[in-house]
Every structure is written in C-alpha cells, then in structure tokens.
Structure 1
Amino acid sequence: MRKRLLITLTTARGSRQLSLNLIARCLLLLFVLMLLASFFISNALLVKTSDELHSLTADYQKLGSLYSGVLGSHETVRTELDKLSLNLASLEQERNSLEQVNQAWSQPLRQLELAMGLEPAEKMTIERSQLLQQMANERLFMLHGIPNGYPVKMKRLSDGFGMRNHPLTGQRKHHNGVDFPVDTGTPIYATADGAVEYAGYHKKSGFGYLVIINHNFGFKSYYAHMKKRPKVRSGQLVRKGEQIGQSGNSGKSTGPHLHYEVRYLFKPLNPVPFLNWSLHNYDQIMTQEKAVAWDGLKEMQPLNQLALPLLSSPEGKSSAAK
C-alpha cells in the first residue's frame, strides 16, 4: 500500500482530508525548507543591518560631536579674528597718531637744519635730533659768548678796518674798527653776553663816551662816540641784544657815528666777519679769521650741552644785534 500524506482541513462545515502524492510532498518539503532558509537569511540580514545601523548611529554621533567641536572652534576663531581686527584698528589709529606727532616733532628740527645751513637728513631720527640739539647748543653757546651780529640796525659802513688817513689829523694810521654812519640817538646793542669793563667818558683815546664789554674766551667789544653817559655801568652783566647806549658825536669825531671794535687777547680784529657771523654760516668765520684758536675754544664748551636751553634769547632782543 502506497504511503500517502493526508492533510486534514477543518472548517465550520466539517473536516476534509486531502491526500498528497510524492511529488506534492517533495514540493511541500522544498517550500518548507525555502521558508526556513528565508527565515534564517532574513534574521541574518536583520542582525547585520542592525549592526550596521548601530555603527552608522555611532558614526553619526561622532560626526555630530566633531561638528559641534568644529562649530565651537569656528566661533572661537571668529572671536579671535574680531579681537585681532579691533587691535589692528587700534594700532592703525595709534600709528597715525604717532605719525602726526613725529611730523609735528620733526618740523622744527627741519627748520633748525635749514637755520644751521645743514643738508636735510633723509629721515629724522632720535639720534639725528640729539645731534642737531647738541650742534645748536654748541653754536648758540659760542654766538652768545663771542661778539657777532650788528650793534645797530644799520648795516652800511662809512669806514672799514685797516690803514687809512685819519679824518682829523690826516695822518696814515691803522683804523682798529669799523664806523656806522648812524644819526645821533640811534640805539646801540651789545653783540654778545658779557661784563661791562668800562662805561664812561674816555678822553685819552678820543673815543668820548665809550663802553667796553668783556666776553668769553678773551674777546672784547668797543662802542665809541656815544651821545651821552651810557645806559650801563662798569661791572654790570649784559646780555646779547641788550641796549647799552645811544650813538652820538662825542670825543674826536667829525660827525655822528658809531665806532665799533672787536678785540681778541687785546689784539684788534676785523669786525666784518663777526658782523656777518650767524647760526647759518657758523663755520665760515673759522676760515676767515686765522688769529683766533677756534679749535681750542671749542674744547672749552660746557660738557652738558644737551642740558642747555635750545634757541633761547633774552627778552627784548633786537634784530639788529642778531
């Protein structure tokens, strides 16, 4: 008897039995096996997919953390950039301010270069400014202590230094100074700082009312034929540009004028180079007047030159005495 596979189906109407032959049974078995294989494969794929999902989730969380970190770093960098931008703007403003200060600071130094007849430097540095100040103080010290400039406002001379025929005696005689043909009462100014050695009427020399001023380094200046008793007295200290009297016609004179002399160690010197001596042509006189030991005089200047006031001048100084 053949083996048959009976399948009983129970419904509401009753039970029915179905009989399957061998082929059907093989097909059924194959179907069951496929179902089982599909079940196991699905479970395996589900497990693998679940693992991959967990891995993706972990990677996503890592990426989220990295993004948060990058975002935080970006904000930090942005904050630092904002700070740097503010600092740069502040530094730019400070640089502009310093340039304005430097320009304002260097402008008078440029004028000082021109006043001293120097070639302008390409760039005004601290070292250059200190050198200019030292040179200016050195020159001003000498110009305040040694006769220079004009004793009256007039710059025309009626008689020069050297041999001439004396206007009164007609004798050939050396003229130790220069004469300015100024009117009576013209103000006379000291040509350098010093102490008044003599102030009064000097009959023996024929100079009439005379002022002699002792200056630095053995220099003296003479102012003769004044109108009346001078405004200064013997022993008085005077400043360059200070009025010491008025021109006149006293003593042996043919008319109103000022006789002016410059002497060094009692020796009369030609006053003309000293009349034209100034801050601008400071070195020129040192080649014109060989009788003065200029190198030795420079060594006698104060050591603290930078402590001296720069471009100071006495109050009431006349331009005629510059």
Structure 2
Amino acid sequence: MIKNKFTITITDINGSRHFYLNQIIKKIVLYVVAFIFLFLIFSGFYIKYLDSKLSDISTKREELLAKSKELELANAQMQKNVEEKAKQYAAIEDKIASFEEALGLEAENNLTITDRLDNLKLTNEQQIGILGQIPNGWPIENKGVTGNFGWREHPLLKRREFHPGIDLRAAIGTPIYAPASGVVEFSGYSDNGYGYNVILL
C-alpha cells in the first residue's frame, strides 16, 4: 500500500515529519469543500441583504413617484387657482373702471384697487342721482301685460312682426310716471300708432 503512495518528508530542528500524498489531497479537498460551503452561506446572506435593499429602493421609488404625482396635481390646481384669481382681478378692474367712467373719474393705474374703491365712495346725493337714472318699477299701476317684447303676430295686420316694446293694460286717463330720471327727447302726438307719447333718454 505504501509503495503506491508518494511520501513527503519535512525535516527541521524539531525532527522530521512525513506526509503521504493522499492525506494532502484529502486536506485540500476538505478545505475546498469548507470554502465552498462558507462561500455559499455568505452568498446566501449577501443575496438576502441585496434583495432587502432592492425591496427598500423599490418601495422608496414608488413613494417618490406618488409624491411627484401629488406635487404635479397640486401645482396644476395652484396654476388653475392663479388663473381664476387673475380673471376675477381683471373683472374687478373692469367694473371699477366702468364706475369711474360713470362718475367722471380718471382711471389711475398706479393706485391699488383698495385706493380706487375708496375714490368710488359716493355721497348720498350721488347715490340718489345714480339710482335715479336706473329704471325701477312700472310707469303705471300694474294691470297686466297685453303685448310682450319680441316677435309676435300683429293684432291688426295679422302678420309676424317684431314688437320693440311692452304693452300694458290701462284705462283711459291713467296717469303715467317715468320710472327713472332722464331727458325728454320727444313729447307730442305720433302718427306711427303710439298716439300721444313722451320719449325719455
């Protein structure tokens, strides 16, 4: 048996040691198997660690995507609100400008809206004057409407015509009052079917 094996002799100050080649091979194989076993164990733990890290990264990525979507929606809503406020601001400026024009005030663009509104504060006399120019109520006691404004069949000509006014029911001699202050443009008898009438501007 021994002559079929290689013997390695190591001699030092402590003496000689003999190693058979088959023993060395066994140790090498044992070391290799142990290394592979430890490598597999380490690889398993490392793969598990990487998988956990990858899962965390994936979760954080989803959270960032959701947050980004929320920010996009919030930004879009904010932009919409800004546009709506800008439209409201422009509408307010237009109304203020129309009031300033009605009162004969010059529009001062360097003033804030608050200052311009302060300039629009009216005295009682101004309020009465403005409200008096707005038609309000009926010119006679309301007894009903006999002809509405718009297209209708003419009561005498029996054809479709546009009626530019409103006919009110009233007895002969009923007093008529102007529903607002104005300037008399015409007063007298008209041959166009209105009879005696007064036109106010």
Question: Counterparts of 1:55 and 1:110 in 2: how far apart (Å)?
Answer: 81
Mapping 1:221-260, distance limit 5 Å: none
Counterpart for residue 6 of structure 2: 28
Using CA pairs under 8 Å that are at least 6 residues apart, name the structure with larger relative contact order, 1 or 2. 1
| Contact 1:113 1:120 (8 Å CA) reproduced | no
Q: Which residue identity does 2:84 align to in structure 1?
A: S
Q: Where does structure 1 lack aligned partners over 5 or more consecutive residues?
A: 1-6, 8-23, 146-191, 193-238, 242-313
1:110 Cα deviation from its structure 2 partner: 2.1
Q: Which residue identity does 1:117 align to in structure 2?
A: L
**2:45 matches 1:45:** no
Question: Counterparts of 2:42 and 2:25 in 1: how far apart (Å)?
Answer: 25
| Contact 1:113 1:119 (8 Å CA) reproduced | yes
Question: Counterparts of 2:119 and 2:183 in 1: how far apart (Å)?
Answer: 24
Question: Counterparts of 1:81 and 1:128 in 2: how far apart (Å)?
Answer: 42
**2:79 matches 1:106:** no
What do the CA deviations read for 1:275-297 (whole angstroms, capped 9, x no partner)? Answer: xxxxxxxxxxxxxxxxxxxxxxx
| Aligned CA distance change for structure 1 residues 28 and 110 (closer, same or farther; 3 Å) | same
SS of the equivalent of 2:79 reads helix
SS of the equivalent of 2:41 reads helix
Question: Counterparts of 1:26 and 1:240 in 2: how far apart (Å)?
Answer: 133
1:316 to 180, 192, 199: 180
Question: Counterparts of 2:97 and 2:61 in 1: how far apart (Å)?
Answer: 51
**2:99 matches 1:121:** no
Question: Counterparts of 2:116 and 2:29 in 1: how far apart (Å)?
Answer: 94
Q: Which has the larger radius of gyration?
A: 1
| Contact 2:133 2:181 (8 Å CA) reproduced | yes
| Contact 1:109 1:129 (8 Å CA) reproduced | yes
Q: Which residue identity does 2:46 align to in structure 1?
A: D
2:45 to 47, 55, 58: 58
Q: Which residue identity does 1:65 align to in structure 2?
A: S
| Contact 1:112 1:132 (8 Å CA) reproduced | no
Which has the larger share of helix?
2
| Contact 2:5 2:20 (8 Å CA) reproduced | no
| Aligned CA distance change for structure 1 residues 35 and 26 (closer, same or farther; 3 Å) | closer
1:130 Cα deviation from its structure 2 partner: 3.6
